[in-house]
């Protein structure tokens, strides 16, 4: 063998050795894939027992993971719900972050930043944190991380061996819907179960069917992403989370502290490490995702986070010895729907048995000032919304109960017996039989709020009625021609007066 051949063979051997080393390179920490729908209540999936809506892809993830039946967002509004999840903190602790269409101050770190510092590649698509203006207070990018057109683009851009975190934000099932799209998708409106707080009419059934069709679109998106994940070879080392940011956009849903605004689906799957085909009724919130992700990344969980890791619930062999007795939820200003931009502040304590709500400004209209009632979608009455339109048209007869539940003013305190009244129709706050229960729940909530420094209970400065709102069109809403004709509306309303 001549010298040249020896050198050549040595080079080939080196290349083979390096290639082998590269192939053997193992990623120590898991990837994180967060799949989020937009405005979807907890029970509208096949895995949660809904026999009408078809969600085979999500159901498969649930079969391979842990399904939570008592999961809640921290606030029934897109921007604060997402901000709370990102920061791992209750909304009253993140200042302007508690409002829709606001800002998230830079002093509040978010889990994508903390994961990035720990060596993760972080990305998102769609809404991420929002709606609002992250630029207004100096953030260089959306708190969700680096923005990508889609997951396929992100996964191609990853570095070998580097763990990643990606947040997919579906546009569905957020309104507006194409009226009749549910029936076009093959959904039989006659089989839909209408909750007790909505009138059981054809209009409402059509609206729910359209919402179901949008959920099915989300499920299709989930299936496509899971296929891309599988093809990338990253499936086995990726934790998959399916959830929504808050509840559905029906009257008494979004922007309300009832279950229909705050209770969300949550599925966590990592078959090799976590329980499979498991169901838990542990009380959890989306705040718990940030400390969970950081723990998995071997990163420090900041002491200021009020969320708790889900690992004691989901890991194989885990036995949660620190179960919550309750969760506390909140709302400040949702849309700009009252004169001078006033919100409808409230706090709620939810146990497995009861829901207690305190409305801090009970003299205000909970659904926004009449006649638009803009905290119920369609918020400006500028696009079709069959359920809301029907209730407003029939508020003095057929839909009177539904109108009172969703639009009328409310007392300062509300109390609901979840087991006996799952639709939360009967306020027991003034019932003499429930005074002890109410007092106990109120005391626990106030104690928690004081411990976590909520100015609503500590006497601190209240800022949320006066913070910036970065959607000018909302301040002078213009109803549609159809709504103007049906309800005798003005062509424009001005909430700045």
> Taking residues 364-378, what's their average pLDDT?
98
Spell 173-187 as b/e; 16+ CB within 10 A means b: bbbebebebbeebeb
CA distances from 162 to 27, 108, 149, 204 (A): 7, 26, 20, 48
pLDDT band for position 18 (cuts 50, 70, 90): very low
As given in the structure block, the two tokens for residue 235 are 């499936």
CA distance 374 to 476: 12
Residue 255 near residue 101, CB atoms below 8 Å:
no
Q: Does 10 have pLDDT greater than 90?
A: no
List pLDDT tens digits, range 77-112.
Answer: 999 999 999 999 999 999 999 999 999 999 999 999
> Taking residues 367-372, what's their average pLDDT?
98
Helices (H), 263-371: 289-296, 311-314
List pLDDT tens digits, range 201-243.
Answer: 999 999 999 999 999 999 999 999 999 999 999 999 999 999 9
> Which letter does DSSP use for residue 487 in this model?
H
Residue 238 near residue 229, CB atoms below 8 Å:
yes
> Taking residues 316-331, what's their average pLDDT?
91
pLDDT at 45: 98
> Taking residues 410-433, what's their average pLDDT?
98
CA distance 422 to 410: 19
Q: Among residues of the chain, what percentage have pLDDT more than 90?
A: 91
| Domain ranges in the chain with CATH number 3.40.720.10 | 28-323
Residue 365 near residue 373, CB atoms below 8 Å:
yes
| Domain ranges in the chain with CATH number 3.30.1120.10 | 329-487
Helices (H), 163-302: 181-184, 202-231, 259-262, 289-296
Please write down the HEC assignment for all residues of 445-472.
HHHHHHHCCCHHHHCCCCCCCCCCCCCH
> Taking residues 402-419, what's their average pLDDT?
98
Q: Collect all residues with Cβ–Cβ distance below 8 Å to 452 and sequence separation of at least 6.
A: 90, 92, 93, 306
Residue 48 near residue 68, CB atoms below 8 Å:
no
- Among 388, 444, 381, 438, smallest CA distance to 412 is for 438
Enter the CATH code of domain 329-487.
3.30.1120.10
Strand partners, 32: 165, 239
With H, G, I as helix, E, B as strand and everything else as coil, classify residue 23: helix
Architecture of domain 28-323: 3-Layer(aba) Sandwich (3.40)
pLDDT at 23: 40
pLDDT band for position 11 (cuts 50, 70, 90): very low
CA distances from 87 to 98, 106, 282, 493 (A): 12, 11, 21, 36
Average pLDDT in the chain: 94
| pTM, entire model | 0.94
Q: Sign of dihedral through CA atoms 391, 393, 398, 404?
A: positive
Q: Does 25 have pLDDT greater than 70?
A: no
pLDDT band for position 321 (cuts 50, 70, 90): confident
């Amino acid at each position: 063998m001549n010298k040249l051949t020896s050198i050549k063979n040595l080079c080939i051997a080196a290349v083979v050795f390096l290639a082998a080393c590269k192939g053997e390179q193992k990623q120590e920490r898991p990837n994180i894939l967060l799949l989020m729908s937009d405005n979807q209540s907890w029970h509208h999936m096949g895995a949660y027992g809904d026999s009408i809506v078809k969600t085979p892809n999500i159901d498969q993830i649930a079969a391979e993971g842990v399904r939570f039946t008592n999961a809640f967002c921290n606030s029934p509004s897109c921007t604060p719900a997402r901000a709370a999840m990102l920061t791992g903190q209750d909304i009253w602790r993140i200042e302007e972050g508690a409002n829709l269409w606001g800002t998230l101050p830079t002093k509040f770190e978010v889990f994508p930043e903390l994961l990035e510092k720990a060596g993760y590649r972080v990305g998102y698509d769609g809404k991420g944190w929002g709606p609002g203006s992250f630029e207004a207070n100096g953030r260089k990018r959306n708190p969700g991380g680096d923005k990508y057109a889609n997951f396929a683009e992100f996964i191609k851009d990853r570095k070998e061996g580097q763990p990643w975190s990606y947040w997919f934000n579906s546009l569905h099932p957020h309104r507006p819907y194409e009226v009749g799209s549910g029936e076009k998708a093959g959904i039989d409106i006659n089989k839909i179960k209408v909750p007790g707080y909505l009138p059981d009419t054809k209009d409402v059934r059509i609206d729910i069917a359209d919402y179901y069709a949008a959920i099915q679109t989300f499920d299709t998106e989930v299936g496509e992403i899971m296929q891309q994940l599988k093809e990338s070879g990253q499936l086995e080392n990726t934790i998959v989370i399916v959830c929504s940011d808050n509840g559905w956009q029906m009257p008494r849903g979004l922007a309300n502290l009832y279950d229909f605004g705050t209770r969300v689906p949550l599925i966590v799957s990592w078959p090799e490490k976590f329980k499979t085909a498991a169901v838990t009724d542990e009380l959890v919130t989306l705040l718990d995702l940030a400390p969970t992700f950081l723990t998995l990344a071997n990163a420090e969980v900041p002491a200021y986070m009020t969320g708790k890791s889900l690992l004691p619930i989901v890991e194989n062999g885990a036995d949660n010895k620190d179960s919550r007795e309750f969760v506390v939820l909140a709302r400040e200003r949702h849309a700009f729907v009252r004169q001078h931009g006033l919100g409808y502040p409230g706090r709620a304590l939810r146990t497995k048995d009861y829901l207690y709500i305190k409305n801090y400004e009970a003299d205000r209209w909970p659904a926004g000032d009449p006649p638009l009632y803009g905290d119920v979608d369609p918020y400006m009455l500028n696009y079709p919304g069959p359920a809301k339109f029907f209730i407003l048209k029939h508020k003095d007869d057929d839909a009177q109960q539904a109108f009172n539940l969703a639009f009328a003013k409310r007392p300062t305190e509300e109390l609901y017996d979840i087991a006996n009244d799952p639709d939360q129709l009967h306020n027991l706050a003034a019932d003499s039989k429930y005074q002890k229960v109410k007092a106990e729940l109120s005391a626990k909530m106030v104690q928690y709020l004081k411990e976590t420094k909520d100015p609503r209970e500590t006497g601190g400065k209240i800022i949320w009625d006066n913070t910036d709102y970065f959607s000018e069109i909302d301040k002078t809403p213009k109803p549609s021609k159809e709504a103007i004709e049906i309800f005798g509306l003005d062509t424009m309303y001005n909430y700045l007066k």
